[in-house]
């Protein structure tokens, strides 16, 4: 279940000025049942029981709902390092006359904690860029993510995915699973400086998604991850094919998308990292002169 405080809690400087303002306004019980998503009643009942709830939406439906739906802040995520909010998003479902509701995460740019090694207010764009790379990879690693205005100003909004509570993430992160290898490949491309265990979300059925991808795309090498198991190992055919596909995408549509979100040299550095990974044909090795594991690791 999400560890929440009320939406207007003010216990951290990053969110001192954050007030839910016009949060929500969606009438309770306004949404009717839809087989693709949860109704507001279902979500609220589950949340009251302390269960984690999520939309069961296909990606195009989720993206549209996240982009145009009405966001209401339910609470602030206590485990988060930024001003990060657990929300409901209500909206129409594509091609139907019925309403849909899903749970989502909303990270307003003004809630971002300043960092010394990333420009202020840039994390939401980096999260969106990571989603774009995940989509282009075809690996479906990052949950549907959009950038939009919200009750606390512009920010990133991401579909809340439901984690399989029976999976022990500490155990999981030690396993030699193709899903984890793919995340490790994607992180090498993204130059992810913060791949913690808690950012790996095991879903029912064995899929693993990866969240909190704000600390990506630096031009400096910063790979910090708990997924070093395959360090120096040769990429398999599928991994090479995906790296090649990403390199082509970066020269086209993905490159254009990233240039809207990142500095030009950050997009060039991403292409450079893929070229280096392809020419070496192997997973990267930790650099002795840099911290290689995020803190805390979980």
Ligand X SMILES: Nc1ncnc2c1ncn2[C@@H]1O[C@H](COP(=O)(O)OP(=O)(O)O)[C@@H](O)[C@H]1O
Give the C-alpha separation, 258 to 102, whole Å. 27
Given CA atoms 150, 151, 155, 157 in this order, what sign does their dihedral have?
Answer: negative
**Cβ 235 vs Cβ 283: under 8 Å:** yes
Choice between 198 and 286, CB closer to Mg ion: 198
Q: How far is the CB of 219 from ligand X (least distance, A)?
A: 21
Do the Cβ atoms of 143 and 161 come closer than 8 Å?
A: yes
Q: Which does 160 bind (CB under 5 to 8 A by kind): Mg ion, ligand X, none?
A: ligand X
Q: In terms of CB distance, is 15 or 137 closer to ligand X?
A: 15
182 φ, ψ to 5°? Answer: -60, -40
Residue with the CB atom nearest ligand X in the bound state = 80
Binding mask 83-112 for ligand X (x = CB under 6 A): -x--------------------x-------
214 vs 284, beta carbon nearer ligand X: 214
Among 158, 191, 218, 225, which residue sits at the site for ligand X (rule: CB under 6 A)? 158
Question: Could you say which DSSP state residue 12 is in?
Answer: S
Q: Does residue 297 touch ligand X according to CB under 6 A? A: no
- Both structure tokens of 232: 């120096």
Among 154, 197, 198, 297, binds ligand X (CB under 6 A): 198
Contact present, 99 and 93 (Cβ < 8 Å) = yes
DSSP labels, 259-293? HTTS-HHHHHHHHHHHHHHHHHTB-----TTS--S
Q: Which of residues 196-225 bind Mg ion (CB under 5 A)?
A: 212
Nearer to ligand X, 77 or 190 (CB): 77
Indicate whether 266 belongs to the interface with Mg ion (CB under 5 A).
no
Q: Quote the radius of gyration of the chain (alpha carbons, Å).
A: 19
Interface pick for ligand X out of 212, 239, 257, 266 (rule CB under 6 A): 212
| Residue 201 is a binding residue for ligand X (CB under 6 A) | yes
- 80 belongs to the binding site for ligand X (CB under 6 A): yes
Alpha carbons 290 and 286: distance in angstroms, whole number: 8
- Contacting residues toward ligand X, per CB under 6 A: 77, 79-82, 84, 105, 143, 158-161, 198-199, 201, 211-212, 214
């Amino acid at each position: 279940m999400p560890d929440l405080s009320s939406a207007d809690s003010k216990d951290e400087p990053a969110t001192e000025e954050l007030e839910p303002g016009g949060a929500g306004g969606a009438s309770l019980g306004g949404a009717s049942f839809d087989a693709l998503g949860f109704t507001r009643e279902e979500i609220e009942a589950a949340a009251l029981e302390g269960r984690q709830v999520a939309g069961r939406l296909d990606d195009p439906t989720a993206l549209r709902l996240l982009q145009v739906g009405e966001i209401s802040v339910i609470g602030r995520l206590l485990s988060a390092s930024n001003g990060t909010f657990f929300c409901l998003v209500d909206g129409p479902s594509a091609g139907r006359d019925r309403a849909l509701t899903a749970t989502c995460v909303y990270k307003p740019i003004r809630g971002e904690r300043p960092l010394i090694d990333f420009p202020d207010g840039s994390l939401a764009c980096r999260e969106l860029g990571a989603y774009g790379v995940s989509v282009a990879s075809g690996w479906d690693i990052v949950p549907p993510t959009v950038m939009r205005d919200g009750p606390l100003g512009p920010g990133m909004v991401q579909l809340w995915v439901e984690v399989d509570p029976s999976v022990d993430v500490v155990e999981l992160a030690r396993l030699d699973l193709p899903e984890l290898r793919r995340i490790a490949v994607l992180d090498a491309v993204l130059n992810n400086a913060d791949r913690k265990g808690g950012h790996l979300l095991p879903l029912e059925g064995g899929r693993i998604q990866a969240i909190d991808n704000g600390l990506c795309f630096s031009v400096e090498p910063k790979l910090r991850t708990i997924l070093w198991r395959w360090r120096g190992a040769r990429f398999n055919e599928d991994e090479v094919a995906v790296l090649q596909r990403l390199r082509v995408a970066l020269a086209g549509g993905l490159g254009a998308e990233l240039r809207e979100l990142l500095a030009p040299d950050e997009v060039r550095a991403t292409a450079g990292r893929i070229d280096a990974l392809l020419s070496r044909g192997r997973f990267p090795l930790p650099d002795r002169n840099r911290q290689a594991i995020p803190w805390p690791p979980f």
